[in-house]
Structure 1
Amino acid sequence: MQLTRTQTARVHSRRSLTDVQIQVLFIAPTIILLVLWNIFPLFYSLYLSFTEFSVIKPDVPPAWIGLQNYNKLLSDPRIWQYFTLTGRYVVTTVALQAIVGFGLALFLRERFKGSGLITTLILIPIMMSPVVIGLFWKLIYNPAFGIFNYLIGYSVPNSGPDWLGEGSRALWAIIIVDVWMWSPFVMLLCLSGLKAIPDYLYEAAAIDRASPWFQFWRITLPQVAPLLLIAILFRTIEAFKTFDLVMGLTGGGPGDATELIAVHLYRAAFTRFTTGESSALAYIILVIVIAVSNLYVRSLNRIRGENH
């Protein structure tokens, strides 16, 4: 029996897939893989945080101990010392990066001869590996042959201080490197915001004889504030997780002068192999980062609401 043209079209439409179904078939395997890749370790580490377990003792199953790991960590004065040190590091580095990055963006806002080359050179640090940068700056800080002491005024380099060997200076040495490395990232976001400000706003302000300072506070800063806050959010999250730069420069020393919380987490997990305790510490850090991020997001939403 032959089918009519209409019946044939209906059968064909039933057998064929729509564009949405084809997209789902192509995307679904990747999404499932990513979910399994991320969700399983997340929940498994959460379970381990309530147990006494060591990864180097696979024959000993995890023993459920409830909140003991969390109580032990939160009652340990050293943990609060590392959190305080990390907080000082985060606040100082992010603040300096915001100031330096925004200042560079203002400087490079107007195109001039060589501005493209200068922008490219400034962006080089964020293209390099933090471990390589750490080793590179370790040579620069070297009191015997490094050039850092010479650059800050010591005519003979080995007559200056040992920046990585003195506890009072080691943290500042890492901060300087972090600011040098990530200020270009803040500059890039701020520069995109500055380029998007309409010229007529400044033209109207000039007609009203507004001073440059007034234009900065009433036009430039409010327009760039959302992107600046996004840059600060990203850098705050990353600063809490700073590990490779510290290990490349000081290894957490001298003593524990630069033992940031991420470095301490590494030691707990992969030196002492206290897997359950280190999982609990990781979740404490996660809760703090989420709380801080929510504050930034609320401020960002408030700024966007005021601009609209």
Structure 2
Amino acid sequence: MAVISPSGTRESPGTPDTPKQSARGSRFRGRGRRWIPYAFLLPALALELLIHFVPIVLGVAMSGLRVTQYQISHWWDAPFTGLGNFRIVLDFDGPTGKALAQSFFVTLGFTAVVLSGAWLVGMAAALALQRAFRGRGLLRTLFLVPYALPAYTAVITWRFIFQRDNGMLNHLLGQLGLIDSNPFWLIGHNAFWAECVVAIWRMWPFAFLILMAGMQAIPGEVYEASSIDGAGPWRQLQMITLPLLSSVNKVLVLVMFLHTFNDFSTPYILFGGSAPPAGDLISVHIYQSSFATWNFGLGSAMSVLLLLFLAVVSACYLAFTRRTGHES
């Protein structure tokens, strides 16, 4: 039936959409909305490829070349060695492979000490500030200061603290009567423990921040019910806090492991770019092998092996935590 519009023209009424047309339209709109998050992620993905993956590809390509200071401006024309650089690096009877193996084991020990120490200090601080009390916000801010400080500022301060003659540590230990002479903290075997202390001091606020955020998600009623049942603080930690923080700890331990194993700022600033054997972390060792000896092909081979090691460890860790999560 025709309808007369106010202007006097005849108009036929529109046919209402059928259910099939409505479903098709909503499906099309749903598909369009589904692509919106990916469109927002495209700039970040492009920058990630540019900043991380492109250097990785170039490093893998350079590991098969004999690149020195003479070919660095046109490194792609350097002589091809195939797996020659890897054979030198993995020859543990040779000087290069032996030094790399020693640096690798030093880094493993450093990572184990720093990871466990930072987690324990961060966990203790998070437990201490779990319940609300007056001044808790101020303490949280103070605890995050080591993490907020720039790496150079934090490490160079510790470098002055560890000085033999004018350092604060030797002065304090001498005042307490714990030492008779001023020991060297930045050379010899003490260098390992010195850089561990600095790394723990820089890392534990990060563990504290993540663990504290995880504890805020635990309902207070659970602790109240356990207190009524007679559970003390230690029992609550074992039966409530740690099990409910398991998912947080899985991610935290992996992130801290990767960050600590690749730590470059701490040894480089603390020892002035040339770490003693006891504190020779693998990141600084690769840097010295690449830029001190100008053997970029050899340094690239070391970097590729380090990347493969971290990838395998991360994959095994994720598979193990996923399996234990399913079993529990």
TM-score by length of 2: 0.80
- Range 296-305 or range 71-80, more displaced: 296-305
Q: Percent identity?
A: 29
Q: Choose the corresponding residue for 1:163, options 168, 185, 197.
A: 185
Provide the C-alpha distance between the structure 2 equivalents of 1:112 and 1:151, rounded to a whole number of angstroms. 33
How much has 1:225 moved relative to structure 2? 2.3
How much has 1:143 moved relative to structure 2? 2.3
Label 1:301 to 1:22 Cα distance change in 2 as closer, same or farther (>3 A).
closer
Structure 2 counterpart of 1:10: none
Which amino acid is the alignment partner of residue 83 of structure 2?
L
Which amino acid is the alignment partner of residue 137 of structure 1?
W
Label 1:282 to 1:106 Cα distance change in 2 as closer, same or farther (>3 A).
same
Q: Unpaired runs of 5+ in structure 2? A: 1-11, 15-24, 26-31, 92-96
Corresponding position: 1:46 with 2:60? yes
Q: 1:167 touches 1:253 (CA, 8 Å); kept in 2?
A: no
Label 1:104 to 1:56 Cα distance change in 2 as closer, same or farther (>3 A).
farther
Q: Choose the corresponding residue for 1:121, options 142, 167, 182.
A: 142
Provide the C-alpha distance between the structure 1 equivalents of 2:105 and 2:254, rounded to a whole number of angstroms. 19
Which amino acid is the alignment partner of residue 48 of structure 1?
M
Label 1:109 to 1:287 Cα distance change in 2 as closer, same or farther (>3 A).
same
How much has 1:177 moved relative to structure 2? 0.8
**Rg comparison, structure with higher value:** 2
Q: Unpaired runs of 5+ in structure 1? A: 7-12
Which amino acid is the alignment partner of residue 265 of structure 2?
D
Corresponding position: 1:112 with 2:128? no
Q: 1:143 touches 1:149 (CA, 8 Å); kept in 2?
A: yes
Q: Encode CA deviations 1:129-183: one digit per residue, 9 max, x unaligned.
A: 212212111111122222112344545899431211x311111011101111110
Label 1:147 to 1:66 Cα distance change in 2 as closer, same or farther (>3 A).
same
Aligned residues: 297
Structure 1 counterpart of 2:86: 70
Corresponding position: 1:149 with 2:170? yes
**What CA RMSD, in Å, does the superposition of the two structures yield over aligned residues?**
3.0
Label 1:64 to 1:22 Cα distance change in 2 as closer, same or farther (>3 A).
same
Structure 2 counterpart of 1:294: 315
Label 1:127 to 1:163 Cα distance change in 2 as closer, same or farther (>3 A).
same
Label 1:130 to 1:27 Cα distance change in 2 as closer, same or farther (>3 A).
closer
- Range 152-161 or range 61-70, more displaced: 152-161
Q: 2:191 touches 2:276 (CA, 8 Å); kept in 1?
A: no
Structure 1 counterpart of 2:28: none
Q: Encode CA deviations 1:84-130: one digit per residue, 9 max, x unaligned.
A: 11111111111101111111111111121211111101101111121
- Range 208-217 or range 278-287, more displaced: 208-217
The correspondence of residues 19-58 of structure 1 with structure 2, limited to 5 A, is 28=42, 31-57=45-71, 58=73
SS at match of 1:113: coil
Structure 2 counterpart of 1:192: 213
Q: Choose the corresponding residue for 2:252, options 216, 221, 231.
A: 231
Label 1:183 to 1:5 Cα distance change in 2 as closer, same or farther (>3 A).
farther
Q: 1:51 touches 1:276 (CA, 8 Å); kept in 2?
A: yes
Provide the C-alpha distance between the structure 2 equivalents of 1:234 and 1:219, rounded to a whole number of angstroms. 24
TM-score by length of 1: 0.85
Q: 1:252 touches 1:258 (CA, 8 Å); kept in 2?
A: no
